[in-house]
């Protein structure tokens, strides 16, 4: 099948590469020539495990191509995936300008039937706006060409996006006409040979499903963070509590890990957008999600409060920071807890040396030439002359460190663990002060 994917970010590039990997002829469009230059040169503009090899394999097989040419892209695919960004506006709503611009381009250039698929995370009602945008362009051209609009939200975890696409838990398709549904079934057949994973519903329900899923996961994280803070105040161990409640099959263990807050491109943006949609479109206040957002904003500053409680005045203090990305296996620092922590420490007069296996280039882009923030080539090098170690991202290489070296190199043997990586009793037994979350 010939497929066009508009946008080569996390969603677009992963979707395009995975669809090509099962035999489709995929053309990826991006208006950013630098991204296309990187892709044409054999690289990828994002960090995602397994993606580079998949892209190169399918380019070599002549199944995956890249372009900045809108005419070529619209002409190519019977299915046109819109996978562009929907950044938050100042009021928290999702900005649809890139989605609607892509839709208008399709309407201006299409000459035969197209299935236009909203793959981007978009508010309820976006499908109708995309349909109107395309219809308006066709009307201006004075032509009558059939098309369908489908909602097909992505459920990809950064750091595991290729695996999630190739072996999906579910495939949500929001559509109202059988022609489009049959085409989507054919498109996704290679990904569900074991059993049926495709769930068909109306477009609005599909759009809401995506927001509801992310909001539920964010809620579990904020709930556990509040519970961890309570456990710490009461002298309980939140890890024991997590195991106790997670063993209930109605609850399960997923997303029950307390820490220093969630970040990334999805949870913060989608929670804000759902709150805004409810308020503006339905005159409903989502009180639970409002609390989820407020709890997460507070949690991002928890490590700085713990550090200040231990050291007092932070003027002239220096800290080692392990982890900059909002989660492991990505270089994404959007809404990352590390950004709040670095801001708090610098504002208090401290300096920081950071290490991250993937995100230091992105950190340099965000913080620029900030002289009080330096970067180390290894985790151990980051410890030099530091008053304490602060862990913000749970990269695998941080899970079993050399505690003897940490104790020897740090000026004061203190660890602030924002991801509860270690057994408190064991670490304290090494002669290191250990401050975790809720333990």
Catalytic residues: 266
Q: Quick one: how far is CA 28 from the chain centroid? A: 21
Q: Are 409 and 387 in contact, with CB atoms under 8 Å apart? A: no
Nearest to 101 by CA among 200, 31, 148, 158: 31
Count the neighbouring beta carbons within 10 Å of the beta carbon of residue 91: 10
Q: Are 36 and 65 in contact, with CB atoms under 8 Å apart? A: no
State residue 94 phi and psi, 5-degree precision: -80, 130
- Tokens standing for residue 40: 């044409």
Q: Are 73 and 29 in contact, with CB atoms under 8 Å apart? A: yes
Please, is 275 exposed, middle or buried when counting C-beta atoms within 10 Å of its C-beta (0-12, 13-18, 19+)? buried
Residue 146: CB partners within 8 Å, gap ≥ 6?
A: 113
Distance between CA 174 and CA 191 in Å, rounded?
Answer: 18
Residue 10, H or E segment:
helix 10-21
């Amino acid at each position: 099948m010939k497929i066009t994917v508009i946008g080569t970010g996390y969603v677009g590039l992963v979707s395009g590469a995975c669809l090509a990997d099962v035999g489709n002829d995929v053309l990826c469009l991006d208006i950013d020539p630098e991204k296309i230059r990187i892709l044409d040169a054999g690289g990828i503009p994002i960090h995602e495990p397994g993606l580079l090899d998949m892209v190169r394999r399918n380019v070599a097989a002549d199944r995956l191509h890249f372009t900045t040419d809108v005419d070529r892209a619209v002409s190519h695919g019977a299915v046109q995936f819109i996978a562009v960004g929907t950044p938050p506006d100042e009021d928290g709503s999702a900005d649809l300008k890139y989605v609607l611009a892509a839709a208008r381009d399709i309407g201006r250039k299409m000459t035969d039937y197209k299935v236009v698929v909203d793959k981007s995370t978009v508010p309820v009602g976006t499908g109708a706006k995309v349909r109107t945008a395309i219809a308006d362009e066709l009307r201006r051209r004075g032509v009558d060409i059939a098309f369908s609009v489908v909602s097909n939200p992505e459920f990809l975890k950064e750091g595991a996006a290729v695996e999630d696409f190739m072996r999906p838990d579910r495939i949500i398709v929001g559509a109202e006409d059988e022609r489009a549904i049959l085409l989507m079934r054919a498109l996704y057949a290679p990904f569900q040979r074991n059993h049926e994973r495709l769930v068909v519903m109306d477009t609005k329900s599909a759009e809401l499903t995506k927001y509801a899923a992310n909001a539920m996961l964010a809620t579990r994280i904020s709930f556990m963070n509040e519970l961890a803070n309570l456990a710490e105040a009461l002298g309980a161990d939140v890890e024991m509590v997590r195991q106790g409640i997670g063993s209930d099959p109605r609850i399960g263990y997923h997303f029950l890990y307390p820490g220093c807050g969630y970040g990334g491109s999805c949870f913060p943006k989608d929670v804000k957008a759902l709150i805004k949609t409810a308020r503006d479109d339905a005159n409903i206040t989502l009180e639970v999600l409002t609390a989820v957002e407020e709890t997460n904003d507070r949690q991002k500053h928890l490590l700085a409060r713990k550090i200040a409680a231990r050291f007092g005045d932070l003027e002239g203090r220096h800290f080692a920071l392990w982890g900059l990305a909002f989660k492991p296996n990505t270089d994404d620092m959007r809404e990352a807890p590390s950004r709040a922590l670095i801001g708090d420490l610098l504002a208090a007069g401290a300096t920081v040396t950071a290490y991250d296996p993937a995100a230091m280039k992105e950190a340099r882009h965000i913080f620029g030439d900030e002289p009080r923030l330096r970067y180390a080539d290894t985790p151990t090098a980051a410890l030099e002359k530091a008053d304490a170690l602060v862990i913000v991202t749970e990269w695998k290489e941080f899970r079993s460190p050399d505690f003897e070296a940490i104790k020897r190199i740090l000026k004061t043997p203190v660890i602030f663990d924002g991801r509860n990586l270690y057994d408190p009793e064991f670490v304290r037994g090494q002669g290191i002060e250990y401050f975790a979350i809720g333990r």
